[in-house]
Amino acid sequence: MTQLRRDAARNRARLTAAGREVFAEQGPDASFEEVARRAGVGIGTLYRHFPSREALAEEIFAAHIDEVVSAAEAAAAEEDAWMGLVLFLDHVLDLQARNLPLRGLFLRHSGGGRAAERRRVILPLLEQVIERGRRQGVLRDDLAVGDLTVALWSFSPVLEATADVAPNVWRRHLRILLDGMRPDAATPQEVPPLAGRRLERAIDQLRERYHRRRAAA
């Protein structure tokens, strides 16, 4: 790698790190000039790497979603399905807690191509974990990947409400939720799980609801 390319890679990394800081502090409409200032580069360098706020936001979100993919891959590779599921949920929720100040940014700019592509990788991996768990008798027979998605959504208000009061209480909530995934006390379900296009539409609705709320503020 030439010195010029090394400098470009270093500047991009600095801009991404500075963007995380500034967006976390100032929200999705944070100043681009402040991002460049904290990265120690000129505004022209910022625009060469990230021609828009959306491009920088997608780069930051891509790092987040890549970590989720890695956690899903590790869960799918774990022979003990229950252990794989617990480790996945624990890791992803800890990631959500750490990235909570960026949630608004992610909801606004998480629909891009790379992020959507990575999400399509995650769901089949989790389906493998669930199917293995059902075969091993450690997960209730009617558990579906859509149930996991909804379960993860349910933690957002918990994380927001307790971040400054009891930042680890989500772990208690997770253990109670995990108990409900066990087959021993499962009760019959009349409502089918979210799946396929209905699940995709629910994700879109969550993002659209956030946009409407921001516009009305």
Residue ranges of the domains in the chain? 1-51, 54-216
Give residue 205's pLDDT: 75
Which of the two residues, 211 and 137, has the higher pLDDT score? Answer: 137
Cα Rg for the chain, rounded, in angstroms? Answer: 19
Q: d(Cα 113, Cα 141) in Å, to the nearest integer?
A: 34
Which of the two residues, 73 and 184, has the higher pLDDT score? Answer: 73
> In a 10 Å sphere around its CB, with 0-12 CB exposed, 13-18 middle and 19+ buried, how is residue 165 labelled?
exposed
Helix 53-77 to helix 113-136 angle (10° resolution) is: 20
Contact 64, 95 (CB under 8 A): yes
Name the residue among 83, 84, 65, 66 with its Cα closest to residue 75.
Answer: 84
Helix 81-98 to helix 113-136 angle (10° resolution) is: 150
Give residue 37's pLDDT: 95
Give residue 3's pLDDT: 74
Q: d(Cα 194, Cα 204) in Å, to the nearest integer?
A: 13
The DSSP code sequence of 138-166 is SS-TT--HHHHHHHHHTHHHHHHHHTTT-
- The predicted model gives 149-172 an average pLDDT of 87
Give residue 119's pLDDT: 75
CA 113 from centre of chain = 15
Q: Which CATH architecture has domain 54-216?
A: Orthogonal Bundle (1.10)
> In a 10 Å sphere around its CB, with 0-12 CB exposed, 13-18 middle and 19+ buried, how is residue 27 labelled?
middle
- What letter does residue 192 receive in the DSSP assignment? P
pLDDT band at 109 (very low <50, low <70, confident <90, very high): confident
Rounded to the nearest 5°, which phi and psi values hold at 45?
-65, -40
pTM of the model as a whole: 0.81
Q: Report residue 98 as tokens.
A: 């750490």
CATH class belonging to 1-51: mainly alpha
H or E segment and range at residue 80: none
